[in-house]
Amino acid sequence: MTYLYFAVLLFLSVSTQADIHNTRFGHTLSISQTMPSQKDQCIQQSHKILASKYPEFVFDSLLYDITVWKNFKETIVRYRRIIRFTPLNKKDSNLSFDFEVNLSNQDISPFDYWGFDNFYIPTAEEQEHLDFVIRSFGLPRSGFNNSIVETSDMYVIYLDNEMVFGQYYIDKITGKQSMGAVEGNYEPMPDFPELTPTDPLIEITD
């Protein structure tokens, strides 16, 4: 009986080591590879809530930077539009581009409160204009907020992050960049003491 117990332990030990060894080289599937991560599970749940509450809302998840945030009270999935486009005929509109789903109470902001009136969904023609700018200027630029504003004769492109910013102009017909680009950096903010939330939202990355 002792020998049998030792043999079983040895088999399990070798099997586990083999799985770890093979996984390093991509030869076997581990449980972590076949099961969705916590972040993926939250995103899948969020998509189900969206489809249930707003079946008419169809969106391409690849156009959004999707993050998951959690504290002891709630879990929130945030969808941030990677490229924000403001067409000429809507430049005075207060457009919204982002939304979020609260998995804890199934609230969807801003749709539950303001509907889709100001939420920007491009028409087929506007999408062609957007695709033209993306091809001409090579968007999106990783690590930056990417915004495009259409004017009567050109597209104005804004790129920025916490450290630097840029403003560029391309011709609406040729797609060539015009002179007059503006680039700069932000002055570092002074360190002021901040109140620490008692239950802050923490990003879930895996």
CA distance 160 to 157: 10
CA distance 205 to 42: 11
In this predicted structure, what is the pLDDT of residue 35?
A: 64
What H or E segment, with its residue span, contains residue 42? helix 38-53
Torsion of CA 31, 32, 34, 36, to 10 degrees: 140
Q: Any idea which fold 122-190 has?
A: Nuclear Transport Factor 2; Chain: A, (3.10.450)
Q: Which residue has the tokens 């099961």?
A: 35
Backbone angles phi, psi at 11, to 5 degrees: -65, -45
Give, for all 206 residues of the chain, the pLDDT tens digit.
444 333 333 333 434 343 434 333 344 444 344 567 999 999 999 999 999 999 999 999 999 999 999 999 999 999 999 999 999 999 889 999 999 999 999 999 999 999 999 999 999 999 999 999 999 999 999 999 999 999 999 999 999 999 999 999 999 999 999 988 999 999 887 887 778 888 999 999 98
Domain ranges across the chain: 2-34, 38-81+93-121, 122-190
Q: Is residue 100 within 8 Å of 49, Cβ to Cβ?
A: no
Q: What own/partner pairs with CB < 8 Å and gap ≥ 24 does 92-100 have?
A: 93/118, 94/118, 95/119, 95/120, 96/120, 98/64, 100/76
User: Global pTM?
Assistant: 0.80
Please state the length of the chain: 206
In this predicted structure, what is the pLDDT of residue 112?
A: 97
In this predicted structure, what is the pLDDT of residue 65?
A: 97
Q: Is residue 107 within 8 Å of 49, Cβ to Cβ?
A: no
In this predicted structure, what is the pLDDT of residue 6?
A: 35
